[in-house]
Chains A and B, each alone.
Chain A
């Protein structure tokens, strides 16, 4: 059950993320747009999102601008993306292509080519292990920073809340410390996402979790029972209504029959003729 919950959160990212406004989450919304981009590649909805992505990637790839520049650029895009007036209209395929390139980089660094979530997870895992090693060794370019950030967000945007603060700092400085923070936070974020599988060290919390799960199942069963009861009652009601209607109709029919029979039996009685009265002279003398 918990795992299904996790899946649902990841699948709902698109709807949740763009509505999270806050000053320090400018980068998160930007990267959420990237996620949107990834998931809605075939639909031409986010014209503005693609624009911002496009510009972002172009900024990164054309020449490595110092982090402050990118951070300056950042506030503009989210504002534009949040407003979403659709005045700008860059060709979507261009934006897609550049994003694809980045993704291909990340994916190529990772494992197999699989679909959807698992693909991102696998590659992220490998990428993070790589990135972790890479970041600690070498400062790396802006690409790595953003790549890692994107990777983290792509996998679990739900964790953005926890990681938001770190990334706001990252957006401002882009220093090495924050890079290093990214990898363990990335792992921590993923760990948090999979917290259900990890055994918490405390036995009391373990028992509490077990109790909670059992309670949840029991509640689900209780709801099921209630639903089954209602369904049964509904079917009973329709069945009884039908039967009632049928019986009433039958009764009406029988009554009509009885009345008709009665009338048929009475009428012959009424039609009996009396002999006409005739006047006759009796006891009278004729002279």
Chain B
């Protein structure tokens, strides 16, 4: 049973970052025991430590790649640096979590400066245990191109949260 992609479509994650896909794997992302649900807001302080990403699907013989990006950089009204790469973990065995994988790009603490940014976790299924090429830079990253280059195909799971500056005015 996978959660529907409707929140991803309404939140424009499918469109800006990903192509339309059918989720086939359950993935649960938690920061400090707070689970990430689509479109919920997190404080930068909460997401300063890397998330616990559990994959509740697949088997121990299939491997997954996790990518975390920010498509609204530097600001959602004019994201000319789209996207900013925050984290890549590969070779995650099914039914385990991200700590069992290989961190290709280390976790970067989100620092949304202008506006409210979306931070997207995307999970790809690897066809085999492969060596994922580490991208040259975090700036101007493209999840689509990354998936194409490494032959990862469409995502199998995705979730996103919102975050703004710690001291930003909320709920005016």
Residues on A lying within 8 angstroms of B by beta carbon are 214, 217-218, 221, 224-225, 227-229, 231-233, 235-236, 239
Contact = CB atoms under 8 A, between A and B. Distances in A.
10 contacts: A218-B115, A224-B10, A224-B12, A228-B10, A228-B38, A231-B6, A232-B7, A232-B39, A235-B3, A239-B3
A239 to B, nearest CB: 7
A228 B39 contact: yes
Interface residues of B, number: 16
A240 B59 CA distance: 25
Contacts of B115: 218
A229 B161 CA distance: 10
A37 B98 CA distance: 67
Contacts of B101: none
B141 to A, nearest CB: 21
Interface of B: 3-4, 6-7, 10-12, 37-40, 76-77, 115-116, 162
A225 B3 contact: no
Contact of B37 (A218, A224, A232): A232
Given A232-B39, A236-B37, A225 B6 contact: no
A127 to B, nearest CB: 41
A174 to B, nearest CB: 52
A235 B4 contact: yes
Nearest to B159: A232
Given A224-B12, A225-B11, A225-B116, A232 B77 contact: no
A214 B3 contact: no
Given A217-B77, A225-B39, A231 B3 contact: no
Contacts of B116: 221, 225
Contacts of B39: 225, 228-229, 231-232
B113 to A, nearest CB: 16
Given A225-B39, A225-B116, A239-B3, A231 B77 contact: no
Given A224-B10, A231-B7, A235-B3, A214 B77 contact: yes
A214 B38 CA distance: 25
Contacts of B3: 235, 239
* Residue of B12, B39, B77, B115 most packed against chain A (CB within 10 A): B39
B77 A218 contact: yes
A113 B57 CA distance: 60
Contacts of A228: 7, 10-11, 38-39
Given A224-B10, A239-B3, A232 B38 contact: yes
Contacts of A214: 77
Given A214-B77, A225-B39, A235-B4, 15 more contacts: A218-B115, A221-B76, A221-B116, A224-B10, A224-B12, A225-B162, A227-B10, A228-B11, A228-B39, A229-B40, A231-B7, A232-B39, A232-B40, A233-B37, A235-B7
Contacts of A236: 37
A221 B3 CA distance: 24
A174 B19 CA distance: 61
B77 A224 contact: no
A214 to B, nearest CB: 6
A232 B76 CA distance: 21
Contacts of B12: 224
B67 to A, nearest CB: 20
A214 B37 CA distance: 28
